[in-house]
């Protein structure tokens, strides 16, 4: 792999997402990089980026979440920033620009910006809980899940589909079994 341009952040070198993307486009012209919004609320967005080869087989994925207003750039462009982060993760997981870290320069700048934000209280920070929606067979979200499975079956493994769904939904073992059965059909 040719040497990609890096940025020094706190003594460690990181590759920017645009460098990873240029390398990907130049070296893998028949592969695709797509984005899928897994969840969007008025406060945050969760995006899955997927790299597929010319046969449509999933080669790598990356997932990112951004909160609206969490940084200066996220006040106006949290959706675009999230997509760029998801791309960077997918390209890193594909093996592009990971000599020193899978994290991209863009991610590190964002992490440092969030790290230096003053906290509202002086209490210990508690881990952020990911809010999931309870999924039941036949409920209002079931149609979305069926569509997601149909669109990704053959492109992604059952495990990958299951992991993506777990980011948004909490599921009983009965629901998981039904998803597995649908995947096998």
Please check whether residues 67 and 4 belong to one and the same domain. Answer: yes
Please check whether residues 91 and 12 belong to one and the same domain. Answer: yes
Please check whether residues 104 and 134 belong to one and the same domain. Answer: no
For residue 80, give the DSSP letter.
H
The first and second tokens of residue 142, run together, are: 């079931």
Assigned domain for 175 exists: yes
Contact call for residues 61 and 90 (beta carbons, < 8 A): yes
Please check whether residues 5 and 84 belong to one and the same domain. Answer: yes
The pTM for the full model equals 0.55
Assigned domain for 124 exists: no
What does the pLDDT look like over 88-143, one tens digit per residue?
Answer: 889 988 988 876 554 544 454 555 455 555 554 444 554 555 566 788 888 877 78
- Across the range 165-176, mean pLDDT stands at 83
CA angle 101, 65, 74 (to 5 degrees): 100
Contact call for residues 61 and 94 (beta carbons, < 8 A): no
Number of folded domains that form the chain? 2
Contact call for residues 46 and 37 (beta carbons, < 8 A): yes
Assigned domain for 41 exists: yes
């Amino acid at each position: 792999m040719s040497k990609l341009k890096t940025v020094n952040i706190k003594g460690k070198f990181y590759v920017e997402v645009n460098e990873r993307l240029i390398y990907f486009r130049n070296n893998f012209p028949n592969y695709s990089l797509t984005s899928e919004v897994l969840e969007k609320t008025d406060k945050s967005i969760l995006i899955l980026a997927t790299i597929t080869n010319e046969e449509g087989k999933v080669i790598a994925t990356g997932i990112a979440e951004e909160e609206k207003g969490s940084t200066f750039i996220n006040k106006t462009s949290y959706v675009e920033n999230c997509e760029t982060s998801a791309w960077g993760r997918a390209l890193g997981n594909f093996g592009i620009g990971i000599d020193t870290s899978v994290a991209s320069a863009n991610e590190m700048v964002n992490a440092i910006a969030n790290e230096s934000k003053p906290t509202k209280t002086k209490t210990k920070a508690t881990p952020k809980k990911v809010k999931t929606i309870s999924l039941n067979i036949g409920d209002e979200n079931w149609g979305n899940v069926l569509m997601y499975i149909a669109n990704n079956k053959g492109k992604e493994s059952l495990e990958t589909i299951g992991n993506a769904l777990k980011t948004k939904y909490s599921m009983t073992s009965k629901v998981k079994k039904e998803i597995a059965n649908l995947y096998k059909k």
